[in-house]
Every structure is written in structure tokens, then in C-alpha cells.
Amino acid sequence: MQNLDQITGTVERFLFQDNESGFTIFVIQNKQTQITVSGYTPNIKIGQEVKITGSFIVHPKFGKQFKAQECISTMPNSLSGIKKYLGSGIIKGIGPAYADKLVNYFGQNILEVIDKNPTRLQEVNGIGPKKIEKIVSAWQEQKEIANIIVFLQEKNISCNIAVKIYKKYKQEAIAILSDNPYRLADEIWGIGFKTADEIAQKLGFDLLRKERIAAGINYTITTATQQGHLYIEIEELKEKTITLLNLEHIDNNQENIKQILKQAFYYLYEKDKIKVINYNNQNLITLSQYFFTEKNVSDKIKNIINYKSKLNFDIDKIYQKLRTSNESSKNNIELNEQQQLGIMGSFKNKVTVITGGPGTGKTTLIKKLLELLESENVNYKLAAPTGRATKRMIEGTGRYATTIHRLLDFDVSIMNFKHNENNTLNLDFLIIDEASMIDIFLANAILKAIPYNAHIVFIGDVDQLPSVGPGNVLNDLISSQKIAVTRLTQIFRQAQDSLIVINAHKINNGQYPVSNIENSKNDFIFIKEEDPENITSHLKKILFITLKKYNIAIDDSIVLTPMNRGTIGTYSLNSILQEMLNPNNTITTPGAHKFKVNDKVMQIRNNYDKKVYNGDIGKIEAIDLEERQIKVNFSDNIVLYEFEELDELVLAYSISIHKSQGSEYSCVIVPIFTQHFMLLQKNLIYTALTRAKKLCIFIGQTKALAIALKNNKTIKRVTLLKELLTDDLQID
């Protein structure tokens, strides 16, 4: 057995902190010597006295350091240690300046004063009742979090997770963990089943306990939704659950495993947590809420179609207005037959879909439709899934539009939309752009808020990637053949000189894009590159030289890539681009993210409290180390984040193509390499190209592009909306 050493000292500074795992590299002052320490030590703060057990090692890159196996911390007792502890930001409201003032005034008694007699803090110049209230609140919260951290640290659970658990459950946290830690996966964003299972096992939960098996089934179903599916076949579900829970290693008796799974399925079914659908000789399983969401969408669409419109349109009169308007059109922009059919279809039908690629005149169609609605005094509203898509709608039509979330008006007090089946929207016509982005849950929320006698028009490009969330709503509506559909295929001559538009249609037809056509704009460039390692030099040249030639601002450009991991994934590219585009800001947030002021960031979950949504992009305006907050500007919506909430943000110099849906940028840069092999699909490349307004640059291998163009087999999402709309699915 290895002999372990023991060292003591005061924590001086951190070199690295990963809040998620608890791994840290820090420096301690040990008498006259400074020692670098590494290990899983989540519950330590600058200024604390520590006693560390472990051994000295020589790191190949960083040299001699102490590898910790155990770290016991105590409150600092030296004046310098207390100053560092208070000045580290551990207590909101006290930074380095106030730490100096407080320690200079109260000496070593300051921590006891804060804990037991905080009103005395007023004796220090600049500290009033409000600041004392903030300090006391932060001190109490920190003590309570510390209790949970100590409880979890004994089980090797990270500090970041402990903070999340405390914020959700407060003083009940330890009791809830002891009773059923699997609740964490359902109730706390950022804690998945695997983390909850790890906590449960470290708390001594039986590996064959009913709650564990049921939670594993639930997790396997929800994991399928991350690929867009709403259902999973029962045998596949069983196999994946067995693998997830490692059941064959726990009990190698197949009959026992079958019985354990059967009991868990029955338990979930009895609690109405799951739904079993027999379709096409398959038993499909889903969570009950998923099935009823899809069924609600189907039922509402059928009811809207069958319900009489409150608008008694004179169709002949409207058609005559359209023809007259078209013949006298200014700027020689005339609607083609397809566009006219789309407009008239919106008047004739209660539910309409209009789909088409770039340059086919979707925006012109919307604008003409609005003119006719206004001439008929129709009460209409315009909406889109994202802020960027809404902005484009406003610019294209000259009318007010809003995001779907704002239209439905989310109420934090009830954690739901104010507009629903009991409080429908006041409108006769709802027109939704970028409808390909709408997942089944948002579709359900929209339809619940629509009056039965209103019209709804979905406008989008069905050839783009489907929604990031589960379901395949626009495609299912079209393929059901129960909805009036207009396809726009004719490219307007105003768009025919754009290589972006020409190549979008070429790619959609499986053809190789071109880089030069006589009399066309030079707005598409393909830089051939075989080695992904050379991406940095290409990006530097594009961002600092090419964009200037095209008079495009760097801030209005984006790097879109198929995946997050790998040499040319978003994680790696964002690190490169942050250093390239924002090198001068030295103040960074603690933890693995290392955000800086002026960084471009993206929200990766819907946060209704803050009114920011998955995919929203903003810029960091300020980092306050004393208050442990950052300030982000999302299109003039200023949002504050606590440091513990930073896992809701990622750098956004580069984002995935999926996340770019509904957005447009003056310049789009797209790396395409064979290391993306599993994700190379025609609609992925098509979606990336159509995000560009003025310039699109592909960088990569012709072979990778050829693979994508040949791959028209998009992953078929397991949904049943089409079957529900066509009554091909009989439900007991």
C-alpha cells in the first residue's frame, strides 16, 4: 500500500475549477513555500486552512504538484486568510475592498460578527441596512449549502450539483435525497438520470429497487426525444434500459430481469406515467404526457377545420382584389400562380401550410396576404419561434410581429402560458413563420390558445432540419393530406443572381453547389481543405480579411458546424474564436466555461423566469466577481445570471446547425469534414447554407460534401401525428 503524505496551508488561488465534477487545481501557502495541488476537492474556498492527504507527483507538462486524495478544510483564522476568504466572492456583497475594511475593523472576530451579531457591521463606513441584509442572506445560504455539500462530499458528489439541489429544495434537500434521489432527474434542470443514479447508489439505494428501474425506463424514453422521437418500441426500450441500469451484471438470471422490468412497467402504467400504443404490429411506449400532447394537437386541428369561420369572406371579391393588386403592383413584383393559390387557400381554409425554399417568395406572399386581411378589417397576428425570426418577419412585412412565447404570455407564477383553451387569443387570423422549428409541445401550446373559429397559417421550409425538440409537426401536417398545402417552387428572378439561392436548390436536389456563374453575385465560396487542423488559419483570414471585402461586420457572422465535439465541433471552435475575437478581456468567470466581457453567448434552455429561451444569442456586458453575477444583453433584454446558473449558457461564436434554425446572418462559415460522417445529411447542409444573407463559405473536403448530398435518408422520427390526423390510429 502506498504511503501517503500530509500537507497543510492556506488556499491562495485557483488555477482551474470544474464546478460540475469538483476537480480543482489550486495553490496553497505552506509556511514559506507555495505548493500546487490537484484533485477532486469541491468544497474549498480561497483563504481557508486545509489539511490535504495524498502524494507528490511530477506532471509531464506542469511539473511537481501534490495529488490530493482527501482534503479537510476549516475556516481561516489568520487575518490574511480571512481577508482572502471574504474577498473571494463567497459572500455576495463583500468583495476585496469591503473584506479589507471589515477585517481591519473587527479583526479575527469578523466571521463571528457576521454569524451572530450582523447589525454591528453598520459600524464600518459604507455598510448600511440593505447591504447587511444581503450579507446575512448570503451567509445563511452559504452555511446551508455547506451542510449539503458536506453531506454530498462524503459521497463524492460535486459542489455545483449540491448548489442546484439546495436552490430547488432548500432545507428539505437532505430529506428528499434520502427518500428518493431519482426525483432530481425530473425536477432539476442539468441533473440527469445518471447523476441521480450515482447519488442514489452512493446513498446505498438497492440497485433493483422499483423506483430505480422505473426511473431508468423514464430516462430511456426521454432520451429518445433528444433524437426527435415521441415513441420507442417496447423491445428496444427494454434492451436500452437493461444496458443503462447494467441489470445483467446485477442479476444474470434472465427470468428475474424480465420480471423486474414487468413490475416496473406495471408500476408506471398504474400511475398513468406511460402509454402503450399498438400500431403497425408494434407496441410503442411513450410517456403519457407525450401521447396526450400529440393527440391534443391532432384533435384541435380537426376541430378548427370543422368549425365554421367567423369571417364570411366573399372569396370572389378577395380574388378580384388580389388580381387587381397584382396587375398594378409597384416595383414590378407580381405574384406567381403558386403564391396566389397560397393566399386564396388561407382565406378558404381554416388551417393552411405554405412551404418553399429561399427565393420562392414566402415573404412577398405574407406581405400581400396582410394587405388583403387589412382591407377586410381582419384581426390578425404575426409570430415566429425565435427573436431573430421575428425580427426578419418585421423587416420583411413592415408589420409588428412577436415571438410565440411572448404572444402566448408565459406566467411564471403558474409556470404556464396565460393564453390557453380557457383564455384564447383575441384574433381571427394567426400567421406563423419558420414553422419547421415548432416542436410538438409548442404546437400544442399554440393550438390550445387559438379560438375554434379562427384561421391559422403555418409558413416554413419543410426541407430544412426538423425542430430541435421532439416531433415532426410541419412534415406530419403536410404528409397527412388533411391540411391545405401550397408548395412554392419557382425562384423569383430577383433571387436568381444569388449563388446562395441557386446552390440551396441545387443541394436540395442532391446536386453539387457551384462557386461561379456568369452575372451572379459572388456570395458563395468553397475553400477546399483536407486537414481539419488548418481550420484556425482559414477562420483568421475570413474574419479579418474576407469580411472586410464584403463589408460585413464580424458580429454579424457565425460559424455553423454539424456537431459539438471534435476538432471542428462547437466546443473546440468556440475556444479558438474566443481567443481570436475577444483576447483582451482578462476578467473571467470561475469554473470550466471561462466567459469574458463581450463574449457572444447562447442560452441552451427555456428560462421563463428570465424570459430567455433555448437558442437566444446575446453578449456579456459585465462580470461582477463580488456579486457573483454576469449581465447578458439579449437584443436589449438585460438578463442577470448567478455564477451557479452559467451552465445555461455556452459560447456562441460557433453554434450547431440545428441551433441556427430560424436565424439569418450576413456571413455563415460552415466547416464540412468526414469526421462529421454520422451527421452528414443533405438537409443539414441545406439548412446551414440558407442561414446566410450576403455570404456563405464552406471549408472542407469535397468528399464530405458529396457524402452529405447523397445522404437523403434523414432519421425518421417516430411520431404518430399523421396517423392521428388521418384516423389511422385507433385508441382504446
DSSP 245-312: HTHHHH---HHHHHHHHHHHHHHHHHTT-EEEEEETTEEEEEEHHHHHHHHHHHHHHHHHHHSPPS--
pLDDT for the residue 1: 44
Per-residue pLDDT band for 495 (boundaries 50, 70, 90) equals low
58 or 285, which is more confident: 285
- In angstroms, rounded to a whole number, what is the distance separating the alpha carbons of residues 167 and 274? 29
DSSP H or E segment with residue 376:
none
Per-residue pLDDT band for 672 (boundaries 50, 70, 90) equals very high
122-164: pLDDT as tens digits: 998 888 888 888 888 888 877 776 677 667 656 666 666 777 7
CATH homologous superfamily, domain 499-583+653-710:
P-loop containing nucleotide triphosphate hydrolases (3.40.50.300)
pLDDT for the residue 454: 95
Predicted TM-score of the model (pTM): 0.78
Ranges for all domains in the chain classified under CATH 3.40.50.300: 307-490, 499-583+653-710
DSSP H or E segment with residue 524:
strand 524-528
In the chain, the percentage of residues whose pLDDT exceeds 90 is 44
pLDDT for the residue 20: 56
pLDDT for the residue 45: 77
* For range 455-463, the mean pLDDT: 94
C-alpha cell belonging to residue 574? 468556440
- In angstroms, rounded to a whole number, what is the distance separating the alpha carbons of residues 71 and 73? 6
Q: Is the pLDDT of residue 542 over 70?
A: yes
pLDDT for the residue 225: 87
* For range 167-187, the mean pLDDT: 85
pLDDT for the residue 43: 63
Instruction: Please check whether residue 591 is in contact with residue 644, taking contact to mean a CB–CB distance below 8 angstroms.
Output: no
Instruction: Please check whether residue 687 is in contact with residue 464, taking contact to mean a CB–CB distance below 8 angstroms.
Output: yes
Q: Is the pLDDT of residue 392 over 80?
A: yes
The single residue listed with the C-alpha cell 433493483 is 208
By three-state DSSP, how is residue 688 classified? helix
CATH number given to 307-490? 3.40.50.300
Per-residue pLDDT band for 340 (boundaries 50, 70, 90) equals very high
Instruction: Please check whether residue 487 is in contact with residue 356, taking contact to mean a CB–CB distance below 8 angstroms.
Output: yes
The single residue listed with the C-alpha cell 444583453 is 633
Across 285-294, 513-522, 568-577, least confident range: 513-522
pLDDT for the residue 155: 66
C-alpha cell belonging to residue 285? 411506449
* For range 275-296, the mean pLDDT: 92
100-124: pLDDT as tens digits: 889 999 998 888 888 889 899 999 8
- Using CA atoms, how far residue 286 sits from 148, 378, 718, in Å, is 35, 41, 11
- In angstroms, rounded to a whole number, what is the distance separating the alpha carbons of residues 213 and 39? 33
Q: Which of 258, 257, 259, 266 is nearest to 285 (CA)?
A: 266
What average pLDDT does the chain have? 87
Q: Which of 180, 184, 143, 140 is nearest to 164 (CA)?
A: 184
- In angstroms, rounded to a whole number, what is the distance separating the alpha carbons of residues 598 and 584? 10
